[in-house]
């Protein structure tokens, strides 16, 4: 070490040089005045602006996870000495979450002070036995200087390759979401022990940041990381506070119980045909195999929504198995050329990635059903040792290829869930049923479209129910014990007839025929157990089982969060909602959060989430109704009024939600009565919610309950927590 350095540093006795600090050298030293060990960072020639920036940034911050600035000189900084090691992985999930939450808290403090870090990487995060410390604000950008301070220094890119955001690589304007991308890269490395973006050269690494996705991780934190690392800023978390909340939700979530028996996820089969439009066909084959496997008693089969979420992504099978909590994964491909098909299938061990079984089938198109059955039968043989004897149910009918093709095209359209695609799907299902009148699957799909239109207000109840019943009569004439048909008839009997004994009989018959389909159990709770018998705990447990079977389904998670709120488990509901947002920032989850906060009387928090829900789904009456009500009770009547006027033109449930939210019980009762008369499904799905206690405890409720053949007594939350009035 140089004596000159010691001379320039005045009262600080230099003990050792400990490394480079980006803009200068770093020394371990003793403060002779206060007799404490400190770290000193010296300045390289020509780095005055960066030096001043770091001094101002650190001085503006006071947080236990950010290094403390003790002193500043003309060309050096004196900071607390942190005896730790860089934040490299791999770490156990619990440790990685603990570290990540502290990093997020430090960034939250920085962003709150208007400071972007811009160089977040493991080397700038030191882990000690007690906590982490965020270091090196040499590239920090202070909000007040953003208008004049470019994201480059003299035309060069700033940051560290592999951790920079795409906009940082492109030298575009930055905001907090750039640090969130870098945070995602750090968290990826903490969990996996490898860098998210690592090329053979600097240009390769930067190209990876811009255009490539990192290899999937076999970790429950994977959805959070994926969202942090979205190339598009709008698809990322919009604040580090949201990231921290999602991490805390994951940290406090109980460990998922291991499924003791065999389990499988069927991935969408790759379309190897020259015509890319044949994707519907390859998807359909995979889904048909999935549905066939679901018949095997005791075999856990992940639902389509979750297993098909990995379409088009780099296939790390062990990672997918980890996210979906399955022991095996089936993947494959389909090539269709004229009247010939080639199907390949591989069953893969989820823990090792080893092939358990594989086969190739070259057949005529008419043999596609035999191929599907052979694949399912082969997998059934593989699990026979664990499950014992159990035969796949034989097909009741092998449809014509033309009808089958129309049906698969309809499923492809239905999955898009837009009004246009559902209308197109309905046409295709009708054509498939007309092509082969013994083919029950398109008829059941038609019923699903009718119920969807009924619930979403896209079709009058009487017309939707009439169409659905016509199709169900035809299905039951062919297969009287069909689980799906009985379950749909149970739904209709509940929401339209209010014939509760018959609805319960149909649901129980459906569940007995398909006991491993947790969607049937969840709907039994939704349409009967809770509204009729008040069995909220069992309904909540059924929703949790469905989430386990379909873990990436944000709708299922939103329903579960709603029941948790109704049960008084507010903290758990909030944690699960944040976990769902880690999968996808979806309006339904925002709506569930808004309803939960409203139930608790936390109007400002509810308003924030309701605004987000309406921004994502401006067409949804329930989202608009809750927002209008919250705006009214929080004093924003001018903003609420045009929304309220629009609500009056919509089905009456929307105005019921608005009226009960503002505390106008008489008006709420009037709109509720109209909802019952028009057979709006939400009078059954949500009408007995403890959130609407003001109505249930009013003189209006006995007559309203009698209209639906329901008991008049209100439903108590499981933990007997009362909702606060929002008046």
Boundaries of every domain in the chain: 3-80, 85-252, 263-395, 604-727
Q: Which of 494, 557, 508 is nearest to 688 (CA)?
A: 494
Hunting for tokens 């309950």 — which residue is that?
A: 705
Q: How far apart are CA 46 and CA 3, in angstroms?
A: 22
Angle (CA) 689-690-694 rounded to 5° is 105
The verdict on whether 119 is a catalytic residue reads yes
Calculate mean pLDDT across residues 682-701.
93
**What are 553-571's pLDDT values in tens digits?**
899 999 999 999 999 998 8
Q: Residue 51: what pLDDT?
A: 59
pLDDT, mean of residues 403-410: 90
CATH superfamily for 3-80 is: Phosphorylase Kinase; domain 1 (3.30.200.20)
Question: What CA–CA distance (Å, rounded) separates 45 from 53?
Answer: 15
Q: What percent of the chain has pLDDT over 70?
A: 87
pLDDT given for residue 94 in this prediction: 82
Q: What CATH number has the domain spanning 85-252?
A: 1.10.510.10
The model's confidence at residue 510, banded by pLDDT at 50, 70 and 90, is very high
Helix 401-414 to helix 368-387 angle (10° resolution) is: 70
Task: Please state which of the ranges 427-436, 510-519, 580-589, 689-698 shows the lowest mean pLDDT.
Answer: 580-589
Contact between 23 and 137 (Cβ < 8 Å) = no
193-216 confidence digits (pLDDT tens): 999 998 888 888 999 999 888 887
- Strands 156-157 and 328-337, bridge-based pairing: unpaired
* 158 vs 258 pLDDT, higher one: 158
User: What's the pLDDT tens digit per position in 260-283?
Assistant: 678 899 999 888 887 777 788 888
Burial class of residue 284 (count of CB atoms within 10 Å of its CB; 0-12, 13-18, 19+) = buried
CA-to-CA dists, residue 118 to 22, 28, 169, 641, angstroms: 13, 25, 11, 43
Output the pLDDT for position 140. 53
User: Which H or E element spans position 160?
Assistant: none
Query: Model's pTM, two decimal places?
Result: 0.70
Indicate the SS3 state at residue 78. strand
pLDDT of residue 154: 37
158: Cα separation from own chain's centroid:
33
> Which one, of 437, 463, 434, lies nearest residue 449 by Cα?
463
**Of the listed 119, 436, 517, 550, which one is catalytic?**
119
Question: Closest Cα to residue 186, out of 87, 111, 115, 319?
Answer: 87
Distance between CA atoms of 21 and 250, rounded to whole angstroms?
34
For residue 365, CA distances in Å to 109, 270, 330, 403 come to: 62, 17, 22, 13
DSSP states of 220-243: TTHHHHHHHT-SSGGGS-SSHHHH
Nearest to 170 by CA among 187, 188, 189, 156: 156
Residues whose CB is less than 8 angstroms from the CB of residue 540 and which lie 6 or more positions away in sequence, other chains included: 525, 560, 563, 564, 566, 567, 718
C-beta atoms surrounding 338 within 10 Å? 7
CATH architecture for residues 263-395: 3-Layer(aba) Sandwich (3.40)
- For 508, other C-beta atoms within 10 Å of its C-beta total 15
Identical fold, 85-252 and 263-395: no
- At 271, phi and psi to the nearest 5? -85, 110
Q: What is the mean pLDDT of residues 96-110?
A: 92
């Amino acid at each position: 070490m140089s004596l000159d350095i010691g001379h320039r540093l005045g009262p600080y006795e230099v003990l050792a040089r400990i490394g480079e600090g980006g803009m200068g050298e770093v020394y371990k030293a003793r403060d002779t005045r206060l007799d404490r060990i400190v770290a000193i960072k010296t300045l390289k020639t020509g780095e005055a602006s960066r030096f001043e920036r770091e001094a101002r940034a650190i001085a503006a911050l006071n947080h236990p996870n950010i290094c403390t600035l003790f002193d500043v000189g003309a060309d050096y900084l004196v900071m607390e000495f942190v005896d730790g090691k860089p934040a490299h992985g791999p770490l156990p999930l619990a440790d990685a979450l603990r570290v990540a939450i502290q990093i997020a808290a430090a960034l939250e403090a920085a962003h709150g002070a208007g400071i972007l870090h811009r160089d977040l990487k493991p080397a700038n995060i030191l882990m000690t036995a007690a906590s982490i410390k965020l270091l090196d604000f040499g590239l920090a950008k202070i909000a007040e200087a953003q208008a004049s301070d470019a994201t480059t220094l003299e035309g060069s890119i700033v940051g560290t390759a592999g951790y920079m955001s795409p906009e940082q690589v492109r030298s575009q304007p930055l905001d907090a979401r750039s640090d969130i991308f870098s945070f995602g890269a750090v968290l990826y490395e903490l969990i996996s022990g490898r860098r998210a973006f690592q090329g053979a050269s600097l240009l390769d690494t930067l190209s990876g940041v811009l255009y490539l996705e990192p290899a999937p991780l076999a970790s429950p934190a994977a959805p959070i990381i994926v969202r942090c690392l979205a190339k598009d800023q709008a698809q990322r978390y919009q604040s580090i506070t949201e990231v921290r909340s999602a991490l805390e939700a994951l940290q406090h979530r109980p460990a998922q119980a291991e499924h003791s028996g065999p389990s499988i996820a069927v991935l969408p089969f790759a379309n190897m045909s020259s015509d890319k439009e044949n994707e519907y066909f390859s998807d359909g084959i995979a889904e048909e195999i999935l549905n066939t496997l679901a018949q095997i008693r005791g075999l856990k089969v992940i639902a389509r929504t979750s297993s098909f979420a990995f379409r088009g992504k780099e296939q790390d099978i062990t990672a997918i198995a980890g996210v979906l909590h399955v022991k095996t994964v089936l993947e494959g491909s389909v090539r269709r050329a004229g009247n010939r098909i080639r199907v390949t299938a591989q069953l893969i061990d989820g823990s090792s990635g080893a092939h358990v079984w594989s086969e190739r089938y070259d057949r005529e198109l008419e043999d596609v059903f035999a191929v599907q059955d052979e694949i399912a039968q082969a997998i059934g043989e593989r699990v026979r040792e664990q499950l014992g004897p159990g035969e796949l149910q034989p097909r009741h009918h092998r449809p014509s290829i033309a009808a089958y093709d129309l049906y698969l095209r309809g499923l492809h359209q239905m999955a898009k869930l837009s009004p246009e695609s559902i209308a197109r799907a309905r046409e295709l299902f009708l054509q498939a049923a007309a092509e082969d009148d013994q083919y029950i699957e398109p008829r059941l799909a038609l019923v699903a479209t009718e119920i969807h239109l009924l619930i979403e207000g896209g079709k009058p109840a009487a017309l939707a129910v009439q169409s659905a019943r016509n199709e169900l009569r035809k299905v039951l004439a062919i297969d009287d014990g069909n689980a799906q048909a009985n379950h749909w008839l149970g739904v209709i009997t509940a929401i339209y007839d209010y014939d509760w004994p018959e609805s319960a009989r149909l649901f129980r018959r459906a569940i007995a025929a398909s006991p491993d389909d947790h969607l049937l159990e969840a709907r039994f709770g939704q349409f009967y157990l809770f509204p009729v018998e008040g069995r909220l705990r069992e309904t909540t447990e059924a929703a949790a089982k469905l989430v386990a079977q379909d873990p990436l389904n944000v709708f299922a998670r939103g329903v579960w969060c709603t029941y948790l709120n109704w049960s008084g488990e507010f903290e758990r509901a909030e944690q699960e909602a944040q976990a769902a947002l880690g999968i996808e920032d979806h309006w339904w989850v925002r709506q569930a959060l808004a309803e939960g906060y409203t139930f608790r009387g936390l109007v400002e928090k509810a308003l924030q989430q309701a605004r987000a829900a309406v921004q994502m789904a401006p067409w949804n009456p329930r989202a608009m109704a809750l927002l209008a009500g919250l705006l009214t009770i929080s004093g924003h009547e001018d903003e609420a009024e045009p929304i309220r006027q629009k609500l009056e033109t919509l089905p009456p449930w929307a105005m019921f939600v608005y009226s009960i939210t503002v505390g106008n019980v008489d008006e709420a009762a009037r709109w509720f009565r109209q909802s019952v008369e028009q057979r709006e499904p939400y009078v059954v799905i949500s009408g007995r919610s403890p959130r609407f206690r003001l109505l249930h405890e009013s003189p209006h409720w006995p007559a309203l309950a009698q209209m639906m053949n329901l008991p008049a007594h209100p439903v108590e939350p499981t933990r007997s927590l009362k909702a606060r009035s929002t008046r």
